[in-house]
Amino acid sequence: MRVGFDAKKAIRNHTGIGNYSRRCIRAVEQEGADTLLFYSRVPVLGELWRNLLQWWAVRRAKVDVYHGLSNELPLGIRWSGAKNVVTIHDLIFLRIPETYSWLQRQILRLKTRYACRVADRIIAVSEMTRRDLVSYYGIDPHRIDVIYQSIDDIFRQPCTSQQLQACAQRYGLPKRFVLCVGTIQRRKNQHTLVCALPTLPEDVHLVLVGKEEAYSETVQQTAQKLGGSSRVHIYKGVPTSDLPAFYQLATVFACLSRFEGFGIPLAEALASGTPVIGATGSCLEEAGGPDSIYLDPDDADGLARSINALLDDPLRRQSMADRGRLYAQRFTDEQLGHDLTALYRSLLSD
């Protein structure tokens, strides 16, 4: 089986969809596909080649299955002779349009609609995305397969006490803290986490790990207004190799994002043995599993009560940690590779 991948994000993006793309490629390779081919762009022609001429390169290479990993397929790919698969991560540009510029929304609408129309099969990274595809685009649900993403195995490995201590000292981490990992932006709603601080014990801090956007200023202003600015710590540029220690040092992981396509940080927290509190209303229940706690994204009082309850109940924290690790076992490279190659083979057998 010869599998071709749209490798633009795998090569050029080092977060989110880029990580997903690389993990898919590695997972399929480990499953034993005969040949993997990667398509990005020709240096001189750039995006023109990628969008208009790539189908010819796919055809010449006699690719059996072509997989667009990032919500899009090249124009003309239906003429390539390959079976076409596209992964749709989310439809946030339709659900929360104000988070994108007008031009970004138009481009995303055109690319996503075209990819869904010409793909032989569509992969949704969550049941929520699958439902959105049916609701917004009227796609036959039988054309959509839900295949969950995988997480790095480093989150399943316990850190040594020396590693934890070194990380805590290097970053100046507080002894007890609530952790949230993700870009600090309005959609991810770190504001509610800050609003819960005044009713938590004074020695419990909030640690935010992620790229800062303009919304970060709003978060810090709220913390200052509530008298908790010294208890909010923001870290950007934390390497993946240090993240397991952050998760394992945290008392609780909390993410009250208003909407996500999947919620990788929740799955990473579960694999790390950290109790998880997530938001209702999107796919976070899928990432966090049945034993995590879920709240309305604006319920700061409920968040504070939930955190305080966990602080007072170490047995419950341990139970959530144990059950969370078990649930996170479904987010492995092995499972991802098996699911993807099974889908590819079913297309070829059809």
What pLDDT tens digit does each residue of the chain (350 aa) get? 999 999 888 877 677 888 999 999 999 998 877 788 888 766 666 667 677 788 889 999 999 999 999 999 999 999 999 999 999 999 999 999 998 999 999 999 999 999 999 999 999 999 999 999 999 999 999 999 999 999 999 999 999 999 999 999 999 999 999 999 999 999 999 999 999 999 999 999 999 999 999 999 999 999 999 998 999 999 999 999 999 999 999 999 999 999 998 999 999 999 999 999 999 988 999 999 999 999 999 999 999 999 999 999 999 999 999 999 999 999 999 999 999 999 999 999 97
**Angle at the Cα of 267 (from 285 to 99), degrees rounded to 5?**
65
CATH class of 2-150+332-349: alpha beta
> What contacts 207, CB < 8 A, 6 or more positions away?
173, 174, 177, 178, 179, 180, 233, 235, 246, 250
Q: Give the predicted TM-score (pTM) of the model.
A: 0.92
Does domain 153-330 sit in CATH 3.40.50.2000? yes
Q: What is the pLDDT of residue 43?
A: 65
Residue 219 identity (one-letter amino acid):
V
- Which token pair is 314? 């170490």
Domain ranges of the chain: 2-150+332-349, 153-330
Q: What is the CA radius of gyration of the chain?
A: 21
Q: Where are the beta strands (DSSP E) in the chain?
A: 2-6, 35-39, 65-68, 83-88, 121-124, 144-146, 176-181, 204-209, 232-235, 252-255, 276-279, 293-295
Q: What is the pLDDT of residue 42?
A: 63
